[in-house]
Amino acid sequence: MSTFRFQALGKASSRKPVSFEETNKKSEIFGSNVFNDKAMRQFLTPDAYKAVKSAIEHGTKIDRKIADYVAMGMKEWALTKNVTHYTHWFQPLTGTTAEKHDAFFETSFDGSDPVEKFGGSQLVQQEPDASSFPNGGIRNTFEARGYTAWDPTSPAFIFGSTLCIPTVFVSYTGEALDNKTPLLRALSAIDAAATEVAKYFDKNVKKVTPTLGWEQEYFLVDAALANSRPDILATGRTLLGHTSSKGQQLDDHYFGSIPTRVLQYMRELEYECMLLGIPVKTRHNEVAPGQFELAPIFEETNLAVDHNSLLMDVMQKVAERHDFKVLFHEKPFKGVNGSGKHNNWSLATDTGVNLLSPGKTPMSNLQFLTFFINTIKAVNNYEELLRASIASASNDHRLGANEAPPAIISVFIGQQLTKVLAELEGVTKGKLSPKEKTDLKLNVVGKLPDVLLDNTDRNRTSPFAFTGNKFEFRAVGSSANCAVSMTTLNSIVAKQLIDFKKEVDALVEKKDLKKDEAIFNILREYIKETKNILFEGDGYSEAWEKEAKKRGLSNHKTTPKALKAKVSKEAVKLFEELGVMNHVEVEARYEIELEEYTKKIQIEGRVLGDIARNHVIPTAIKYQNTLIENVKGLKEIFGKDFEKIAKEQIGLIKEISEHIEGINRNIDAMIEERKKANNLNSAEKMAEAYCDKVKPYFEIIREHSDKLELLVDDEMWTLTKYRELLFVK
């Protein structure tokens, strides 16, 4: 019997690794397809070069005439690399990237004078026909159109034969329609706020740059096998499938030797990343079979976000050449670990200091503690908003599923820093005696080792952990665009630093305290106020859920519930005050995310109904018929004794019927609930209905189907099984 499944298996198991030979050293090719500093020096006039540099470093505007020169240089550079097209490259609220290619080539209207053309106007602004990107009602298609505008802080790059220009995407009325615009605004807010505070410690600081180092987890599945599963194709995950007898129990995949086919894929992927200036550094097997991770060296946050979005695209494209499909879904397979995208985050000054790294002197340690404690305070004040920033239908499968960070946000800081905070808590209110000051400086902050890295115990269950010289936001989903979590994190810390500065300055003025005394005083208050957010124990445990509830921490396990915090009064106020988003933008995003949630569950429900009815049930009936034939035959041979002899078969026939009935009944009920949900009149209510009324049927239907998978003859089963998806390499 040659079903699609067996054809796919035949293809998958006969594959040879697609070999890939690197020709150059990484350091030689790194960034060669990026319009980086080296390329700019070579292809731009000095004026144009200076203008772009100043835009990158100080956010200054580039005037139109200069833009013409920049475009000219960019085009010349691109032509030396056989580029034929250009595109504005942006990140609409679909969560992925968008591009529309135009040829450099132009002629005059009668077809004469063909030239390669690309001017300042094409570089600076474009008007993609963007009416079908999500906009949450901001952009009425009849009144205003959206446009993309060049973001000079992220360098143009070449992919394939196309010059890609990173841009923001906004409406003509100025509202952001993308993920990058609010991120850029949040980054500039935290730059301003953190620079002011950093100046307490070093007057020379002029700029603070938030850094981001993401770690991308993903699954690789053979392309033929992935294509044989309608659920993987339509939803990125398996909606059915009995868990494989062998999963990850033996821990034999984690950090194990990388299979050759995968290794060849990784090598080519890393080569492409090198050309694109994405500084990938680490690769390894992850916990689940078929699961891997890739991490770069950290970068400035806007660039790191662009690089992650670009990477996800490149990963899929390179995978095609190796006959793999990449699954970015947070939970593609039941029963084995899901995938995340840890966001490692810190703040760096233009004087070369990592503000979340303890230093060698008491002063630099006080600076470290200031930024460390303010970050904790920010998370404490906005834990619900931070939770909301990572909410999605797919991440719901992971958060709180006893394998990934819980849906409760808490901060892990490790034993050593817990002790330091306890000592700081004892600081005297108001003026400090000279002895006390010396004591504090020498014995408390002075004793912080300048490298905490090796001393910070790792707690894998924490959603937000301090790891020696950075915070690691671990609850971010593998399919997410990091811009969303980074916009929120940088905004809440910016707001906190602004408040901190006000409080310190007020104390200095009113109480006539020295600056460091005032800082100690305020930090002491913060330590007292933020105890609830600190948690060192097992985040997966039930005890923590209970404890967190007592502490008043939120625990939103589903996206519709979690998202509400995005439109709370405090959230709107925060984003408006900082100039990150106005209330229209905030509300539009809320709508879009609710709609996206609803659509995802709706699609999953449809696909599930389809495969359960059109694959599982017909297969089960076919097998049941062979059993019936068998029983009939036994009856013919054995006469009235047959019932004893055919007992097992008859039992199976009944069991199969029960599961078929179970599937049908629950699909009908699910469809009823979908109809009801579709008639609701608000995005909020619809998302809630899909979450609470429709989704619960998924598990019930799956259970019946997975039981059938165990009963039915393997030769007949049409859907590729877990053991094949996960283990065929």
Binding site for ligand ADP (CB under 6 A): 211-213, 215, 295, 297-298, 344-346, 354, 467, 469-470
Residue nearer to Mg ion on the CB measure, 215 or 323 = 215
Q: Which does 212 bind (CB under 5 to 8 A by kind): ligand ADP, Mg ion, none?
A: ligand ADP
- Distance of closest approach, residue 401 Cβ to ligand ADP, in angstroms: 22
CB of 213 to ligand ADP, least distance (A): 3
Smallest distance from the beta carbon of 159 to Mg ion, in angstroms? 27
What values do phi and psi take at 419, rounded to 5?
-65, -45
Q: Which does 467 bind (CB under 5 to 8 A by kind): Mg ion, ligand ADP, none?
A: ligand ADP
Q: Give me the least distance between CB of 215 and Mg ion, in Å please.
A: 5
Residue 713 to residues 239, 618, 627, 646, Cα–Cα distance (Å) = 21, 13, 11, 17
Q: What is the full DSSP assignment across 17-76?
A: -------S-HHHHTTTTB--HHHHHHHS-HHHHHHHHHHHHH-----HHHHHHHHHHHHH
Q: How far is the CB of 566 from ligand ADP (least distance, A)?
A: 25
- Spatial neighbors of 87 by CB under 8 A, at least 6 apart, are 99, 100, 101, 102, 162, 163, 164, 165
Taking the CA of residue 606 as centre, how many other CA atoms within 13 Å lie in the half-sphere pointing to its CB?
8
Of 215 and 673, the one with the shorter C-beta distance to Mg ion is: 215
Find all residues with CB under 8 Å of 689, minimum gap 6, and list them.
673, 676, 677, 680
* Nearer residue to ligand ADP within complex by CB, 153 or 598: 153
Which of 239, 358, 43 has its CA nearest to residue 719? 239
In the complex, the smallest distance separating the C-beta of residue 212 from Mg ion, rounded to whole angstroms, is 15
- Residue 128 vs 340, nearer CB to ligand ADP: 340
Q: Report the residue number, 122 or 216, with the smaller CB distance to ligand ADP.
A: 216
Closest to ligand ADP by CB, 333 vs 345, is 345
- What is the binding site for Mg ion (CB under 5 A)? 215
Sort strands 162-171 and 85-90 into parallel, antiparallel or unpaired: parallel
Question: Do residues 495 and 577 touch, judged by C-beta distance below 8 A?
Answer: yes
Q: Which does 481 bind (CB under 5 to 8 A by kind): Mg ion, ligand ADP, none?
A: none
Q: From residue 522, how far is each of 195, 364, 423, 534 by CA, in Å? A: 18, 17, 14, 18
- Cβ neighbors of 528 (< 8 A, separation 6 or more) are 425
Which partner in Mg ion, ligand ADP, none is near 269 (CB below 5 to 8 A by kind)? none
Nearer to ligand ADP, 429 or 458 (CB): 458
Distance of closest approach, residue 666 Cβ to Mg ion, in angstroms:
38
Q: Which is nearer to ligand ADP, 115 or 453 (CB)?
A: 453
C-beta closer to ligand ADP: residue 130 or 212: 212
Burial class (CB in 10 A: 0-12, 13-18, 19+), 129: exposed
CB of 601 to Mg ion, least distance (A): 29
- Minimum distance, C-beta of residue 474 to Mg ion, in the bound complex (Å): 8
Q: Which does 370 bind (CB under 5 to 8 A by kind): ligand ADP, Mg ion, none?
A: none
Which of 501, 506, 470 has the alpha carbon at shortest distance from 193?
Answer: 501
Could you say which DSSP state residue 176 is in? B
Q: How would you class 635 by CB atoms within 10 Å of its CB: exposed for 0-12, middle for 13-18, buried for 19 or more? A: middle
Q: Which is nearer to Mg ion, 215 or 396 (CB)?
A: 215
CB of 358 to ligand ADP, least distance (A): 13
Please report which residue ranges of 540-616 form alpha helices under DSSP H: 542-551, 559-563, 569-578, 583-611
Say how far apart CA 532 and CA 527 lie, in whole Å. Answer: 10
What does 213 bind: Mg ion, ligand ADP, none (CB cut-off 5 to 8 Å by kind)? ligand ADP
Dihedral pair phi/psi, residue 243, rounded to 5°: -60, 150
Choose the one of Mg ion, ligand ADP, none that binds residue 216, judging by a C-beta under 5 to 8 angstroms depending on kind.
none
Q: Name the packing angle between helices 647-678 and 617-638 (round to 10°).
A: 160
User: Which of ligand ADP, Mg ion, none does residue 411 bind (CB under 5 to 8 Å by kind)?
Assistant: none
Structure tokens given for 92? 């609409």
The interface partner of residue 380, options being Mg ion, ligand ADP, none and the CB cut-off 5 to 8 Å by kind, is none
Q: Of these partners, Mg ion, ligand ADP, none, which one is at the site of residue 175 (CB under 5 to 8 Å by kind)?
A: none
Cα 571 to chain centroid, rounded: 21
Q: How far is the CB of 470 from ligand ADP (least distance, A)?
A: 4
CB of 409 to Mg ion, least distance (A): 19
Comparing CB distances to ligand ADP, the nearer of 207 and 723 is 207
Pick between residue 12 and residue 404 the one whose CB is nearest to Mg ion: 404
Question: Which neighbouring-strand residues pair with 471?
Answer: 345, 466
**β-strand partners of 411:** 464, 534
* Residue 346 binding result from Mg ion, ligand ADP, none, given CB thresholds of 5 to 8 Å by partner type: ligand ADP
Work out what residue 295 binds among ligand ADP, Mg ion, none; the CB cut-off runs from 5 to 8 Å by kind: ligand ADP
Q: Which residue is nearest to Mg ion (CB)?
A: 215
